[in-house]
Amino acid sequence: GAGVSQSPRYKVAKRGQDVALRCDPISGHVSLFWYQQALGQGPEFLTYFQNEAQLDKSGLPSDRFFAERPEGSVSTLKIQRTQQEDSAVYLCASIQGPHQGSTEAFFGQGTRLTVV
Amino acid sequence: RKEVEQDPGPFNVPEGATVAFNCTYSNSASQSFFWYRQDCRKEPKLLMSVYSSGNEDGRFTAQLNRASQYISLLIRDSKLSDSATYLCVVILRFMDMGRRALTFGSGTRLQVQP
C-alpha cells in the first residue's frame, strides 16, 4: 500500500477484554515497530520485528502483551485481559532497512484504545 | 535518566519569531538522528534528518553535536502552521543483524500565536 495502515482506528474495550490491533506496513519494508503513546507523552517502544523475527520485545509492559508478524508483513499486537492503564494510542512504524534503503520511519495513524 | 530528553515546553511564540529546541541523548553509540513533527491526534511525520554537518530546509535548521550529545532544531520566521509537537528521534542500536530501536524524546510543544 501507499502507507502504513492500522486498524481499527478506535477501540473501546471493557476491562478484562482481549483486543487485537493490526498493522499493515509499507510493502517490502523489513523493519516493523510497535509503540505505545500515552496522552502528552512521546511514543514508547514496545517491540521490533525484522521480517517475521521478533528481535526485541523488551518494551512490552507485561505478559498480557503479545505481538506477531508470521509472514513478515502484517503484524498483530494482542493485549489480553485489558486494564485501564493500557489506554493509549498504539502506533506502528515501518522502515525499509536495516540493510539497505532509507532509515526514515513511516507511521500508521495509530489505534486509540480506551479501556473502560 | 531517560535515554533521550527534551524540554516539554510549551513554547509560546509570536508569529515571525525564531525558536530553538534542544534534545539530549545519553548513549554515545547512537547512530542516527531525526526530528519528527506530530500534530494533535495525528501520527508522527518526518520533518528532517540531522547530520553532523548540519542541514537546512527552508526555515528549519537541524544540527548535531556529538561531543555534547545533543541535537537542535531552529525554526525561523515561525508560522501559525508550525504549531505542533516536535519529537526528537534517536536510533540507538545497530547490531550485526541490523537490529534498530528508535527512541523518542517526549516531545516539545510549540504554539505559534498571531
Tens of pLDDT, residues B42-74: 888 989 989 888 899 999 999 999 999 999 999
Instruction: Say whether pLDDT at B93 is over 70.
Output: no
Q: In chain A, what residues touch B89 (CB-CB under 8 Å)? A: 105
A90–chain B nearest CA distance, Å: 10
Closest B-chain CA to A36? B104
Helix/strand/coil percentages in chain B, nearest 5: 5, 50, 45
Interface check for B89 against chain A (CB to CB < 8 A): the answer is: yes
- Residue ranges of chain A whose CB lies within 8 Å of a chain B CB: 31, 33, 35, 41-45, 48, 50, 55-56, 91, 93, 95, 97-99, 103-105, 107-110
Tell me the pLDDT tens digit for each residue of A87-114.
999 999 998 876 666 667 889 999 999 9
Q: Which of B100, B104, B105 has its CB closest to that of A98? A: B100
- Say what the alpha-carbon torsion angle A38, A44, A50, A53 is, to the nearest 10 degrees: -80
